[in-house]
């Protein structure tokens, strides 16, 4: 199986030893505590689950700036986005202290992790703007990633952490949330060698379904990991439990047995386009996947990125030896009326726009909300039914 990023073995920061785990929970009640942002909590979950191997904790300011500007830490580790714990008020926390990090997303704010604080640093407005510009290619406050990043605060707490739980992800999505450790183990149990990862924050329509098939066939892969984001999204996006139900129904009815793993990960969407695509590649490599499907406007939002910027970044900014995982480059996929099947539009010569069934997200939401199923060439009827029920309940 493919090696983890920057390491021979995974480095999950969750404390799995039962006695040590209990001792840490007891200790946490005696420590000063800090309520962290949702973004910092999601970083802790990803660190705990091994997805962010080989990182040992939150980055210091110099590393965060180096990653933003140069896609590598100060000691040369290739990494695409800062993994930070930024707060508005450090509440007297000093370097050398040991603190409990509390979860903002769970009632009662339970302890999520214990942190050894190595540095407390204040980022200047110039530093924050520089990181935002490099990560998101904009400082527009209307960009959901920019607004979330800049709202966290400008005090960076850096240092290693020991993770004690996986926030709400394990309890709310017990059948779907999986750590990188668990995914690697299941890939091994299934006997898969070549595995394609499909990233999604949306339900999967016919085009997505066929794209997974195309990638598996083109690469002669053993299986596909459908890996859905379970964390926070922007307003208007479909919640995770609805996506989960629709994807499970699609796989149950339309894929052969032992060809698909349906899993999810605990992270808030960044909407960072190309930079987020590279992050997606890193943690899919840590899962044991050999390939990641990168399609049109991968991890994008609005018109902030070019349609294929998330592919070209791998050519222009990712050194040849930085990653072992490879990307599978996908074009926009749609149903061809001429050919009677889903195709990549680049592979359909002699077609005009009218030869494809193309529906905007707005149009699809409008149809579903009115109880009208999109055409079967666009969405499987069983999937459309789940989505229609959701949208109609919004209005009731």
Rounded Cα gap, residues 195 and 83, in angstroms = 26
Could you tell me if 311 and 327 are in contact, meaning their C-beta atoms sit under 8 angstroms apart? yes
Q: Confirm whether 109 is a catalytic residue.
A: no
Given 98, 190, 201, 213, which residue is catalytic?
Answer: 201
Contacts of 55 (CB under 8 A, 6+ apart): 11, 47, 79, 83
Rounded Cα gap, residues 390 and 236, in angstroms = 12
Rounded Cα gap, residues 181 and 47, in angstroms = 11
Q: Confirm whether 178 is a catalytic residue.
A: no
Cα separation values, 331 from 99, 267, 390, Å? 47, 26, 29
Given 70, 202, 213, 248, which residue is catalytic?
Answer: 202
Could you tell me if 115 and 58 are in contact, meaning their C-beta atoms sit under 8 angstroms apart? yes
Residues identified as active-site? 201-202
């Amino acid at each position: 199986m493919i090696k983890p990023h920057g390491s021979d073995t995974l480095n999950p920061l969750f404390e799995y030893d039962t006695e040590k785990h209990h001792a840490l929970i007891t200790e946490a009640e005696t420590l000063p505590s800090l309520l962290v942002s949702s973004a910092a909590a999601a970083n802790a979950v990803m660190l705990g689950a091994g997805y962010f191997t080989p990182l040992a904790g939150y980055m210091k300011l110099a590393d965060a700036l180096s990653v933003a500007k140069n896609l590598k830490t100060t000691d040369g580790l290739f990494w695409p986005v800062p993994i930070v714990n930024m707060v508005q008020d450090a509440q007297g926390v000093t370097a050398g202290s040991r603190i409990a990090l509390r979860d903002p997303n769970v009632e009662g704010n339970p302890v999520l992790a214990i942190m050894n604080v190595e540095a407390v640093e204040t980022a200047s407005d110039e530093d924050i703007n520089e990181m935002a510009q490099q990560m998101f290619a904009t400082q527009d406050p209307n960009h959901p990633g920019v607004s979330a990043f800049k709202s966290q605060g400008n005090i960076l707490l850096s240092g290693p952490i020991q993770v004690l739980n996986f926030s709400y992800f394990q309890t709310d999505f017990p059948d779907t949330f999986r750590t990188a450790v668990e995914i690697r183990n299941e890939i091994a149990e299934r006997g898969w060698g070549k595995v394609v990862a499909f990233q999604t924050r949306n339900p999967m329509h016919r085009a997505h379904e066929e794209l997974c098939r195309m990638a598996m066939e083109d690469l002669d892969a053993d299986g596909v990991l459908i890996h859905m984001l379970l964390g926070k999204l922007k307003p208007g996006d479909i919640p995770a439990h609805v996506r989960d139900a629709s994807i499970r129904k699609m796989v149950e009815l339309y894929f052969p047995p032992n060809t698909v793993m349906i899993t999810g990960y605990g992270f808030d969407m960044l909407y960072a386009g190309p930079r987020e695509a590279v992050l997606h590649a890193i943690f899919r490599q840590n899962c044991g996947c050999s390939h990641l499907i990168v399609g049109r406007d991968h991890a994008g939002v609005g018109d902030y990125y070019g349609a294929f910027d998330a592919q070209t970044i791998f050519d222009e900014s990712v050194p040849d030896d930085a990653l072992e995982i490879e990307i599978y480059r996908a074009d926009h996929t749609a149903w061809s009326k001429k050919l009677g099947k889903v195709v990549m539009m680049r592979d359909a010569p002699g077609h005009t726009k009218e030869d494809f069934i193309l529906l905007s997200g707005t149009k699809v939401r409008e149809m579903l909300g009115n109880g009208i199923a999109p055409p079967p060439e666009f969405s499987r009827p069983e999937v459309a039914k789940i989505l229609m029920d959701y949208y109609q309940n919004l209005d009731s």
